[in-house]
Amino acid sequence: MAVPEGVFVKEQPGAPAGFFEVEAAGLRWLAVPGGVPVVPPLEVAPGRLATPRLSAVPPTGLLAEEFGRRLAVTHDAGARWFGVPPDDWQADGFIGPIPLPHAHTPVASWGEFYAEFRLRPYLRAAYDKGVIDTSHLAVFDQLCAKLTSGVYDDPSDHPARLHGDLWSGNAVWCADGVTMIDPASHGGHRETDLAMLDLFGFPLLERVLRGYNEVHPLADGWWSRIGLHQLHPLMTHVVIFGAAYVPRALAMARKFD
């Protein structure tokens, strides 16, 4: 099938059920007035997603600050509870090629959500693959218990509308502003998206954070918690790519357990 000019098509024959459909639901959910631009889904079908083709430009400080301001607006659009899927989606999602569990009913706190939906499923998967052992699990179990106890909760912060996989490859610098693609959207903690920007390096991140703070000042000490939020993407990398990511994930878990 010929692809029209200006259209970008992703195809994956035999993709799991809902693979592109949940991505399209996330794109629609993230499209909030004044928020970060997202590519709109033009066509979605099993194994296929079409969106407008983006034209990238070099990063600039002004674009970075505007991205930060708009990201705060996107987050502030909110979500019904931690772990909730995008509107009009009632199943789980995906992050990269692997499943991403959603909380289909409210959970008590962010810490409980993060432990039960963002760490334990990937710990089990890594253990079943033989990538981590029982001694590794003990470290993470201690951290999960601490998370569930509420030590890292901030009751004053409501669930944010997250991109969910906001590394540099999913934020395209365009002439009219940074545009987000490929979300793993859900309701979560605003610091999670910011931690993901930092994890593998994002151009002009300091300027992004400056813009973000203009709209929604971040909580005191938030930077000290950034590694906690990076544990989930690190564990997805353990599951997808193997043992090379285990030492970094363990070191991070020990820092917060």
78-134 per-position pLDDT tens digit: 999 999 999 999 999 999 999 999 999 999 999 999 999 999 999 999 999 999 999
Q: Where are the domains of the chain?
A: 55-256
| DSSP single-letter state for residue 56 | B
Degrees, nearest 5: CA angle 202-114-218: 50
pTM for the whole structure: 0.96
122-172 per-position pLDDT tens digit: 999 999 999 999 999 999 999 999 999 999 998 888 999 999 999 999 999
55-256: which CATH architecture?
Alpha-Beta Complex (3.90)
Please give the Cα distance from 89 to 92 (Å, whole number): 8
Which amino acid, residue 45?
A
Contact 78, 29 (CB under 8 A): no
| DSSP single-letter state for residue 227 | H
Q: Please, which residues bridge with residue 10 across strands?
A: 49
